[in-house]
Amino acid sequence: MRDPNNPAIGIDLGTTFSVLAYLDAHGEPKSVANAEGDLLTPSVVLFEDSLVTVGKEARKAAALVPEGLAAFAKRDMGEPAFHREISGSKFPPEVIQSLVLSKLKHDAELQLPRVEQAVITVPSYFNEPRRKATQDAGQLAGLDVLDIINEPTAAALTYGAKQGFLNERGEAAKTERVLVYDLGGGTFDVTLMEIEGKNYNTIATGGDVYLGGIDFDRRLIDHVAAAFQEKHGGDDPKQDLATLQRMTQEAEDVKRALTNREQTTFTVEHKGQGMRLQITRNLFESLTEDLLMRTMFTIRNVLRQANCEANQVTRVILVGGSTRMPMVARQLEKELGQTIDRSISTDEAVAHGAAIYAGILQNERAGIKSSVSVVNVNSHSLGVLGTEEATGRPRNAVIIPANSQLPLVMGKRFSTAKDGQRSIKVSVIEGGNASGQNATPVAQCVIRDLPPNLPKGTKVEVFFSYQQNGRMKIRARVPKLDKEATLVVQREVGLSDENMVAWQQWIDGTNLSLGD
Ligand code: ADP
Ligand code: MG
């Protein structure tokens, strides 16, 4: 029996919508509606003077105060600041996301005794700084973040708990190769998992941080804006922030309507002139076909990395609101030659899986071992930026290749370059090509206070590890002295401890309009 006073919480902190779920007394995941009565809370925050509003109300007011609206902050996680100033101020994306979490927590507390011990989900391709930013957002919202979990893994846990990967005797029926296809509002994520009974192993993962429902909406907006200009001449209606905001809402409505109907009308109004345009599903599909094909390309890539043929995939799970577009399942069936499973809720599966995982972790804290095992892989290689001796060019020495099973520790030896050297500096990067291009700088580690008088060429061993959740740890030692070396890890991005405290105070001081 679970502690009803401290339920396990799962939060799908989405790019466009977020969902909070908990495990009930029977260990069943349940979604919690927000104060407006909706299961999905738009991940948008409106800043007006000293007032902060989150969710549907924020989105409604957006056309009036477009410069105060922060949406899609998840895309910026891991960056120092939200991609544009909000009413003249710079906000770290984790602060915006923490305000979304604060609303979810606050609203859920109207129904649950306590909302504290939570697992928050992240796309599996999130790199280390983005993962840290997510944990920090949770902390800023006053949550005890038990862990983060990859969204496809969470969806698979929900599927497994409901549908079962076990036969009637409770044994693994067979090894399932499950492809989780998650097309949300702003991101695309595809993951191949091998599931054997209660063992969930991620094999390979891929995705696109800049591909989601909004890109489909934008194609409609571009099409309509061009037609509007052709008819009325004058400036591009998209250049006007308020018009753009209205067109964005209209485009989403039209897109959703086309999921159920063959055609509908797009209405635009700009500077006193209006236009109504018929949009057919066929037209919409042809305007966005390349976006859909990009997702198929990513699938092929992931399957190739996993050495898996398309016909070896045994189940396909669809997650994310954009998978409702009929062309998604149609194209997937073509690509993978099988019918697509639609038995779990595309909106709730991720949050439910996070709640299930939170329950497992709560049990573990209480000393109860779970029969479910989850094995993850890293979505980006971890390397050290060095210099090629012959050419003097930068070189990416990969230490942990992408898609390695986690947790994993890898050691690398460095040598001092001169006699009496007291410190060594190591630049840690994620991803990137052989010369480190397109890599994300993660941290500068400085091995400090090496004992004096070490001869040139003294070996220093640095251990890089990814924990199960994709967070990084680094340790260094000097084997000759059999001694740990002092290591200072200076993170390249994300909030420092001092900034966390400062923002925490800012958040505590804001007037959060929470709708009660
Ligand atoms: P995220 O995980 O990125 O927050 P969701 O999984 O909630 O996003 O998906 C949100 C996206 O799904 C939005 O772009 C929304 O327009 C789209 N969407 C929701 N319902 C439909 C529908 N019926 N038809 C087409 N797209 C939809
Ligand atoms: Mg999502």
421-452 per-position pLDDT tens digit:
988 888 899 999 999 889 999 888 888 888 88
Comparing CA positions, the residue from 40, 34, 41, 45 lying closest to residue 96 is: 45
CB count in 10 Å sphere of residue 244: 18
Most trustworthy range by pLDDT among 20-24, 75-79, 205-209, 408-412: 20-24
**Cβ of 288 less than 6 Å from ligand 1:** no
Helix (H) or strand (E) holding 100: helix 93-109
| Segment 164-204, tens digit of pLDDT | 766 666 666 688 999 999 999 988 999 999 998 888 999 99
Nearest atom (ligand 1) to Cα of 346: 6
| Rounded percentage of the chain residues whose pLDDT exceeds 90 | 61
Q: Which ligand is nearest to the CA of 123?
A: 2
Category of 49 on φ-ψ map: left (φ > 0), alpha (ψ -120 to 50) or beta: left
**Cβ of 259 less than 6 Å from ligand 1:** yes
Residue 1 has pLDDT above 60, yes or no: no
Spatial separation of the C-alpha atoms in residues 134 and 503, rounded to whole Å: 15
Token readout for 124 is 């599996």
- How high is the mean pLDDT of the chain? 91
Domain limits, the chain: 9-163+344-374+501-513, 213-285, 382-484
**Could you give the C-alpha distances from 136 to 139, 350, 352, 501, in angstroms and in order?**
5, 20, 22, 11
Which 3-state string (H, E, C) describes 122-137?
ECCCCCHHHHHHHHHH
Residue 376 has pLDDT above 90, yes or no: no
The CATH number given to 382-484 is 2.60.34.10
- Which CB contacts under 8 angstroms, 24+ apart, belong to 471-480? 471/128, 471/131, 471/132, 471/135, 471/148, 472/128, 472/382, 472/428, 472/442, 472/443, 474/428, 474/443, 474/445, 476/445, 476/447, 478/450, 478/451, 478/454
E strand intervals along 209-330: 263-270, 273-280, 315-319
6-19 per-residue burial string, b: 16 or more CB within 10 A, e: under 16? ebbbbbbbbbbbbb
| Segment 237-260, tens digit of pLDDT | 999 988 998 999 999 999 999 999
Best mutation site among 16, 120, 190, 264 for ligand 1 pocket (most ligand atoms within 8 Å of CB): 16
The CATH number given to 213-285 is 3.90.640.10
CB 46 within 8 A of CB 52: yes
| Superfamily holding 9-163+344-374+501-513 | ATPase, nucleotide binding domain (3.30.420.40)
Q: Which residues contact 69 (CB under 8 A, 6 or more apart)?
A: 44, 45, 46, 47, 58, 59, 62, 86, 245
